[in-house]
Structure 1
Amino acid sequence: MMNRCGLLTLQKEPVPLKSIEVELEVRDHVATVVSTLNYENKEDKPLEAVFVFPLPGDAAVCHFSAKIGQTQIVAEVKEKQEAREEYDDALSSGQQAFLLEESEQSPDIFSLSVGSLPPGESASIRLEYVTELAVQADDGLRFCLPAVLNPRYQPQGSEAAGVQVTSVPASLVPYSLSFSARVSSPRPVSKVESNCSLDPLQYLSTDQTQATVKLAAGHKFDRDVELLIYYKDAHQPTAVVEAGQASAEAGTLMGDPVVMVSLYPEFPQSVMSSLASCGEFVFLMDRSGSMSNTRIRSARDSLLLLLKSLPMGCYFNIYSFGSRYEHIFPKSVEYSQQTMEEALKKVEQMEANLGGTEILQPLKHIYSQPCIPNQPRQLFVFTDGKVGNTKEVIDLVKKNSDSHRCFSFGIGEGASSALINGIAKEGGGHAQFITGTDRMQPKVMQSLRFALQPTVVDISVTWDLPKEVSVTVLSPPITALFQGQRSLIYAQLSGQSSEAAEGCVTVKYSLAGHPSENQLHFSLRPAADTGLTVHRLGARTLIRSLEMEEREHRGQQDGGVKEKVVKLSVQSGVSSSFTAFIAVNKDNSKVIEGPLVRRNIPTPFAVPMAMCGPPRMMGVPIAMCRSRLKRDCRQTEAQINLDRPAAMYYSEPSCRQTEAQINLDRPVAMYYSEPTAVPDQPPRDPLLQLVSLQEASGCWLLDPALAAALGKSSEEVEKSKPAKANSEVWATILALIWLHGLKMDAKDEWELLAMKATSWLRAQNAPCVTECVEAGNVLLGCSVKKEALGL
């Protein structure tokens, strides 16, 4: 029987959460987020309100408090089971209590229980976390406030507990969201962009190093709030030393200073200009039901660009997955015209029709294939990130990190940041998120450029500090370096040093056989006004490493690692999967009487529309129940089926089917009462039309399809060809002129395949290249110089 406990607003039952206020403070590349959740019980009986919501996967939750009337209660971090029992005991004895806990399956999902809110009572909950901001391909720093929590698909036969899903349409989310941000940096803030409407950026200083911005009025709950922050000269290495907590014991993590070092390695230009011409490229594409329509079309277009941009002589294969998985070739094959054409035929037929999101099995199959000698394996994973076994997937990637690099792409609203960032980090690759109206292709090609960069090996980090200062590194060893990408290192500094003392950190590595190093000198004097942000991020980094170690050795030891995590979490006040925040209002002398009524707070849930036309998202909130059969029998997180269409949770007349009648991954639009006629496919993008005609070797053939893609007739193209020019040389130069002359705004997408075309032209040693370029410019109405084409 379906659990119907979450259809609150549809049944006109009140939801006690009235509003959420979020204040963001960004300092350089670190963000502090303070969320205030305002509750009010307008019913005539005491309530327990349960709210399950997403946070960034790498966030360090470091403060949780509640205010009832004039009473302020600050929560403590305790071992999870102990905290749950204390919460239950408080409710059983008529006290108010508040519990905040991280999901055991995924570190980007939290559950907040507000217990015993008497009739007419208000409560204000304050939640604070700190997080690092990731650098995007265009050098912007990305902050995401996850508003959308899509249901997570729990693999069949999985022992992990999932979550029961209930939902209401976004238009019925009964609480409001306000969001404001303050940005400060040593370097000027050049701009702030968002996927949501913002009020204009306000600068607070003449040097433009401080600014504020906020969401425009009328923000809808149908998407995550994403900010992209751009600084001038963003790629400057920095080190911040933060003083320890005065009340903490010297020699402990919180008592000693902690340094955060941010490095941007610069590789020699001579090495960077020679992209790798080998490798085994494995593409793993999500074809679950929630990838339907625009998402799967965009994914197909991205695969086209990737296949056209691969170097001759490499190997490749394409896997796709849902509830089951498929592969185009039994094992990776050498890249040639024949294998490329065979793969593209299969790609064109790909639809989002494979059911749920079972990513673990195809990954295991890929890793079971022997690596090809002298062809480094590069894995590209495309998914909307709705899996329930996040930690299991990340652990598998880490276990195989010596044999490959992993590049991940989170598609759409609500993609799990814990999954997307986690597999890229453990796989020594790079993560990208594609939301709203973002084009997937530029981000995909940026990652392919990273994959084609020579692999950096023999990475070592050494510290040069005054002899009375010792260092304990909190971060795991650096396993991957890419040109222009940031590497962060946290370290605890023990011992005394003078105010003027300096430290130095050196990163050494080998790149394409060339030994290199980058150095950063920094002052050991603690920075002013950093709070304990750096300590908390350092503690979070160490906690995550220890949690992974505990999972690796589960069943082999006596739980010593778990004890370490609990101790560190309690000392630092930072959440972990083994601890929870608990606050009990012991000042309230009046016992709350009467049976406690449970209210689940809905969370927005994004559904990709199965309709074509302008992009729009249908937001459908969900609530995840941490239900209890008895007060003393707690089931932390119940079972979930991920890619089930939202409409099956509606109680509207058009959606009266039972759970058994519904095909889980049928496109959502099938269940809506809107017209479901699907318009014709949109006309193909002219750029992709031209790209699709390129041969694997890099050249184009002179044929009517090429003429049409260039917007000319076959006669015009043939007549303009210089008499002595080879047909393929002429066709290839025309294609390159068209790209450079008319499509420079999309250079990120075609740059690699154009380099391949240029290499092919050079290898032909063809006569009359100059004449072809001149004639091509006349035909296409361009003025591209031969040098611009690399000829």
Structure 2
Amino acid sequence: MNCGLLTNKNEPVPLKHIEVHLQALGHVATVTSTLQYVNEEKRPLEAVFVFPMPSGAAVCQFSAKIADQEIVAEVQEKQEAREQYDDALSSGEQAFLLEESEESVDVFKLSVGSLPPGQSAAVTFIYITELRVEADHSLRFCLPAVLNPRYTPAGTSAGIVSEITSSSTGIPYSLSFTAHVSSPNPITKVESKCPLEPLMYLNTDHTEAKVSLCAGHMFERDVELYLYYQNPHQLTAIVEAGAPTAQPGSHMGDPVVMVSFYPEFPESVMSSVSSCGEFVFVMDRSGSMSDMMHDGPDAQERIECARVTLLLLLKSLPIGCYFNIYGFGSDYESFFPKSVQYSQDTMEQAVKKVKEMRADMGGTEILQPLEHIYKQPCIPNHPRQLFIFTDGEVGNTKDVLHCVRSNADFHRCFSFGIGEGASSALITGLAENSSGHSQFITGTERMQAKVMQSLRYALQPAVIDITEDWSGVSFTRLSPPIKTLFHGQRALIYAQLKGEECQKPDAKGKISVRYRLRDQDVSDTVHFSLKPAENSGMAIHRLGARSLIRTLEKDEQDDGADKEALKARVVELSKQSGVSSSHTAFIAVNKGSRQAVKGPLVTRRIPTPMLLACTMKSSRCMGVRMAAAWCVTPACASVPDSDGGFDMSPEISEPPEDPLLQLVSLQKASGCWEMESTLAEVFGRTEKELIEQIPEQVKPDVWATLLALIWLHGFKIDAQVEWQFLAMKAVAWIRTQKVVNQSECVRVGNALLGCQVKEDALGI
């Protein structure tokens, strides 16, 4: 059955065109998206569509143009807005209602009331968002093309999120995308996985540039843009003037400053790792994990990628730590009753069970296993670190994040969104609420590389004891305090500037950020002019308001909170700044459209393109993925839910015959390899050839381990991020063996394997 904006005869309301403009200012962005529709039916419609938003984004403006008349929405308390919308429809007026999902802040629903027959409508959204920092120091903007079906646990109310499912309807609409980038530091390049027109610099110092998506993009996957600036670790501050029409002293009337804090980690810190910790791996085993990672020819199922990644993680853990593995779906199970010490025996038990993992546990109820984990007593001197893998298809995101935040003092969470469409609110929220780190694995990206990067964060020292010293300004802080930052993480600090000194033309401000990294005290300082930046569309004011609104909304969930007072403050700030919240909605009514409605309004759901990730096994579809244009997502379907009802588990398959993975699987928990025929096969040799070349006074396991290190450095150096911890364990083990003729071993090993690896490169 088709879905989307459908008539009672399953006929869709056509989406004709999407036009998107990105305005990037340093580390933040304003996005304007216009969608053009036509009602080709003979009766008025009430159109409904659901769309995804980046986590941390907030809608700040919404308007609609029908024929030649434009109406602009205003922010009202949510229930009042709903009542006004219903009253408008019953009076024959055109009306629009835009509201945030009550289950997840990254999903919005728009209701378009009384679209006349044969009439076109252009709907425009403007939203603001912070740009995500990537491992190579670029800033990532993502225009989501996919919003997966969300699983709503039994006993919870069905809302906006639960309406989202798949559609197979083909939609012939077009997309245009343009980005304008400006930064305090020069822009070095802009990249994308999608074809771009050449980058055009707009000034001589390269602090402004423009780029567009090539014509003809089909929007079958996310549009990702990567912005590169010079001196990315430099502390920067941007001041934005208040709105001329706003009351001085109010949030929108005073200047607001945004400070970007992105600390640099010295190599000495990067190379140090801890051997302590309790590592709890929480794996999504719902039916949707049998979907494909992408639609390319070499795509793997999500659960298969997860199995390989878990194997690599198990081999990379340090001796002396503790670990456990949970699988969850409609229910949950753990490998061990409680976390066990890492040893050869416990590692082998876990590896065997990992190879048997299937996507066979129904729905996606992540709250229960988290609550169970938090009830387990912590192990002294072993900080608890959760690694959560999920395709993010849950309907009770806010409940999950509240649970994580309530236990934030006892753990850190490293979260991984698997596949297109994972909920950014869930994945980033898990990390943000526990001072952890989040990653998204999409398209052909290797899950192993990103997960091992996060393991390094978990084992390395982090920036702690962060304090700020402001000079020359009076201010009110809008963003929450920064507790912890890992390597590669950035924090944005928002503050409302007050006082008469802001009015002086030559006024200066200064902020010093002090922090502790390993055993060193570090301080970064930036001087900035209080003269505001040129017209920036109030993006910084609105992001500051959004930050404060999210903090107030979190405070509402705490026991003993004055919920009514907090709600009133959220509503006031939301209406003043025009930024969406959980307690407000955008409402627009076209007063001049009053027409008698003949017959009932027909509700339609906007259809969107379909990404089919189906593997046919025994004539059964093993998984369905739904693609959605950024602002347009289907909201109904009756295909078998990939998270329940049917056993959609893949056949258990052995890991692919990848030599690197074969080598990984053969390493012992201590870090060594033993001499055996399967190891020789990885090297393209026979066991006899390896044994015949053993230098004198060298034990077979030492020789095997040295050969493994030479092979890794000689043939797999491009994947070093994946095997770095395996190598560190191997080097540490070799040092305990007191090898007397190490240089001779490396020379013979190079000759045997056909490599030219230098001894000092091995770190032994």
* TM-score normalised by L of structure 1: 0.89
SS at match of 2:489: coil
Equivalent residues in 2 for 1:129-148 (5 A)?
129-148=127-146
Residues 1:564 and 2:569 aligned together:
yes
| Paired letter, 1:471 | F
Alignment of 1:116-195 (within 5 A): 116-159=114-157, 161=159, 163=161, 165=163, 169-170=167-168, 172-195=170-193
1:493 is the counterpart of 2:491: no
Match of residue 667 from structure 1: 648
Deviation at 1:62, TM superposition (A): 0.7
Find the residue that maps to 2:592 and give its secondary structure.
Answer: coil
Cα shift at 1:500: 2.7
1:758 aligns with 2:764: no
Alignment match, 2:584: 579
Code of the aligned partner of 2:283 = M
Cross-structure match for 2:319: 312
For residue 484 of structure 2, what is the aligned residue in structure 1?
A: 480
Deviation at 1:225, TM superposition (A): 2.4
The secondary structure found in structure 2 opposite 1:587 is helix
Helix, strand or coil at the partner of 1:730: helix
SS of the aligned residue for 2:639 comes to helix
Question: 1:160–1:389: 8 Å Cα contact kept in structure 2?
Answer: no
Give 1:726 deviation, angstroms.
Answer: 2.2
Q: Distance in 2 between matches of 1:680 and 1:339?
A: 23
TM superposition shift of 1:501? 2.8
User: Match for residue 394 of structure 2?
Assistant: 387
* Secondary structure of residue in 1 paired with 2:593: coil
Instruction: Tell me, in whole angstroms, the C-alpha distance in 1 between the residues paired with 2:122 and 2:478.
Output: 35
Deviation at 1:345, TM superposition (A): 0.8
State the AA in 1 paired with 2:645. Answer: L
Return the offset for 1:281. Answer: 0.8
1:517 corresponds to which residue?
523
Greater Cα shift, 314-323 or 167-176: 167-176
Evaluate the alpha carbon distance shift between residue 775 and residue 341 of structure 1 in structure 2; reply closer, same or farther with a 3 A threshold: same
* Structure 1 position 510, deviation (Å): 3.2
Which amino acid in the other structure matches residue 743 of structure 2? T
**Does the 8 Å contact 2:640/2:646 carry over to 1?**
no
User: What is the distance in 1 between the residues matched to 2:760 and 2:616?
Assistant: 45
Amino acid across the alignment from 1:577 = S
For 1:577 and 1:607, locate their aligned partners in 2 and report how far apart those are by CA, in whole Å: 33
Give distance in 2, aligned partners of 1:9 and 1:173.
16
In structure 1, what is the Cα distance between the partners aligned to 2:167 and 2:218? 11
Shift of 1:680: 7.4
Name 1:716's counterpart in structure 2: 689
Q: Per-residue displacement from partner, 1:240-284 (whole Å, max 9, x unpaired)?
A: 111111111111111111111111223454444321111111111
Using the TM superposition, give the Cα deviation of residue 150 of structure 1 relative to its aligned residue in structure 2, in angstroms: 1.5
Q: Where does residue 69 of structure 2 map in the other structure?
A: 71
Please say which of residues 146-155 and 217-226 is displaced more in the overlay: 217-226
Cα separation, 2, equivalents of 1:425 and 1:402: 13
1:10-29 residue pairs with structure 2 within 5 A?
13-29=11-27
Partner of residue 548 from structure 1, selected from 543, 551, 554? 554
Match of 2:245 in 1: 247
Q: What letter matches 2:51 in structure 1?
A: F
Instruction: Sort the Cα spacing of 1:552 and 1:597 in 2 relative to 1 into closer, same or farther, 3 A.
Output: same
Identify if the C-alpha distance between structure 1 residues 604 and 81 changes in structure 2 by more than 3 Å, giving closer, same or farther: farther
For residues 322 and 520 of structure 2, what CA distance do their matches in structure 1 show?
A: 26
- Asked if the contact 1:235–1:484 (Cα under 8 Å) also holds between the matched residues in 2, the reply is no
Aligned to 1:595, which of 573, 592, 600? 600
Shift in alpha-carbon separation, 1:334–1:164, aligned structure 2, 3 A: closer
Q: Which shifted more, 350-359 or 446-455?
A: 446-455
Provide the residue aligned with 1:227 in structure 2: 225
One-letter code of the match for 1:183? V
By how many angstroms is 1:200 displaced? 5.0
The C-alpha deviation readout for 1:658-683, integer Å capped at 9, x for no partner, is x9xx95353399xxxxxxxx897673
- In 1, the alpha carbon distance for the partners of 2:640 and 2:142 equals 29
Give 1:542's aligned amino acid: L
State the shift of 1:354 in Å: 0.8
Check conservation: 2:359, 2:649, Cα contact below 8 A: no
- Aligned partner letter, 1:581: F
Provide the aligned C-alpha RMSD in A: 2.8
Cα pair 1:18 1:175 within 8 Å, conserved: yes
Whether 2:350 is the aligned partner of 1:343: answer yes
Q: Contact (CA 8 Å) 2:109, 2:160: kept in 1 or not?
A: no
Tell me how far apart the structure 2 counterparts of residues 575 and 582 of structure 1 sit (CA, whole Å): 11
Q: Quote the Cα distance in structure 2 between the aligned partners of 1:14 and 1:282.
A: 46
Structure 1: distance between partners of 2:434 and 2:420 = 23
Q: Check 1:512–1:12 CA distance in 2 against 1; reply closer, same or farther (3 A cut).
A: closer
The one-letter amino acid of 1:683's match is P
Are 1:450 and 2:460 an aligned pair? no
Of the three residues 424, 431, 441, the one matched with 1:417 is 424
Q: Which moved more, 1:261-270 or 1:182-191?
A: 182-191
Instruction: Tell me, in whole angstroms, the C-alpha distance in 2 between the residues paired with 1:255 and 1:412.
Output: 42
Write the distance in 2 (CA, Å) between the matches of 1:396 and 1:548: 11
Q: Compared with structure 1, are the counterparts of its residues 444 and 67 closer, same or farther at alpha carbon in structure 2 (3 Å cutoff)?
A: same
Shift of 1:165: 4.1
Amino acid at match of 1:152: R
8 Å contact from structure 1 (residues 144, 227) kept in 2: yes
SS state at 2:500 partner: coil
Cα separation, 1, equivalents of 2:674 and 2:8: 60
In 2: Cα distance, 1:238 partner to 1:486 partner: 12
Scaled by the length of structure 2, the TM-score of the pair is: 0.92
Partner of 1:301: 308
| Contact 1:291–1:608 (CA under 8 A) maintained in structure 2 | no
Shift of 1:45: 1.0
- CA separation of 1:763/1:681 partners in 2, compared to 1, >3 Å: closer, same or farther? closer
Matched residues in 2 for 1:166 and 1:475: separation? 32
Alignment of 1:743 onto 2:741: no
Moved more, 216-225 or 765-774: 216-225
Q: Residue 297 of structure 2 aligns with which residue?
A: none
Amino acid at match of 1:452: L
Distance 1:764 1:521, change over 3 A: farther
- Unaligned stretches of 5+ in structure 2? 291-299
Alignment of 1:527-542 (within 5 A): 527-542=533-548
Give CA deviations for 1:337-372 in whole Å, capped at 9, x if unaligned: 111111111111111111110000000011111111
Judging changes above 3 Å, is the alpha-carbon distance between structure 1 residues 538 and 784 closer, same or farther for their aligned structure 2 residues? same
Amino acid in structure 2 at the alignment position of 1:517: S
Question: Counterparts of 2:12 and 2:517 in 1: how far apart (Å)?
Answer: 61
Q: Distance in 2 between matches of 1:462 and 1:149?
A: 42
1:52 corresponds to which residue?
A: 50
1:648 aligned counterpart, secondary structure = coil
What code does the residue aligned with 2:192 have?
S
Structure 1's unaligned 5+ residue stretches are 624-636, 650-658, 670-677
Name the CA distance, whole Å, in 1 between partners of 2:607 and 2:202.
Answer: 37
- Per-residue deviation, residues 654-713 of structure 1 (Å, max 9, x unmatched): xxxxx9xx95353399xxxxxxxx897673221111111111111111221211111211
Give the one of 352, 356, 361 matched to 1:354: 361
Q: Which amino acid aligns with 2:127?
A: Y
- 1:782 equivalenced with 2:755 (yes/no): yes
Per the TM alignment, residue 176 of structure 1 is displaced from its structure 2 partner at its CA by 3.4
Residue 208 of structure 1 and its aligned partner are, at CA, apart by 5.1
- The 3 A distance-change label for structure 1 pair 518 and 32 is same
Q: Structure 2 residue aligned with 1:370, among 374, 377, 387?
A: 377
- Find the partner of 2:508 among 502, 506, 516: 502
For 1:545, what is the secondary structure of its paired residue?
A: helix
Q: Percent identity?
A: 61
- AA aligned to 1:369 is Q
Among candidates 703, 710, 714, match of residue 730 of structure 1: 703
1:537/1:605 CA distance change after superposition, 3 Å: farther
Label 1:506 to 1:18 Cα distance change in 2 as closer, same or farther (>3 A): same
Work out the CA distance in 1 between the residues paired with 2:164 and 2:243: 43
Give the C-alpha shift of residue 483 in structure 1: 2.6
Letter in 1 for 2:639: A
